[in-house]
Amino acid sequence: MKSDWIQIAVIWALVAIGAVLAIAFLDDHNVTKGFGILLAGALSLVAMIHLFKANHEGIVRRLIFVAGGSWAILAVAGLYILVARSI
């Protein structure tokens, strides 16, 4: 289970870095598209890791945690865009 949390935390960190880069380099209309790509990429990465692991236990739990955490990260980034760019 400890390695699952390490993988989840790494994916969350990648999503957070991607969100910061999307905010920095994309315009208002494309940021939300970038967020969607980040979320899809995070879930795809979990599925790809699952394909290469011999153990199939806990894939649903990892998908739920990665999806929920990534959604929360992107929601905070979206609120930042809403507040910072409306000023």
- The secondary structure of the chain in percent helix, strand, coil, rounded to multiples of 5, reads 85, 0, 15
State residue 1's pLDDT score. 65
Higher pLDDT residue, 58 or 17? Answer: 17
pLDDT tens readout for residues 38-48: 999 999 999 99
Cβ 77 vs Cβ 23: under 8 Å: yes
Let me know the angle formed at the C-alpha of 38 by 51 and 14, rounded to the nearest 5 degrees: 75
Domain ranges of the chain: 2-84
pLDDT tens readout for residues 22-60: 999 998 889 999 999 999 999 999 999 888 887 778 889
Distance CA 48, CA 31 (A): 25
* CA dihedral angle for residue 34, residue 16, residue 14, residue 12, rounded to 10 degrees: -120
Overall pTM > 0.85 = yes
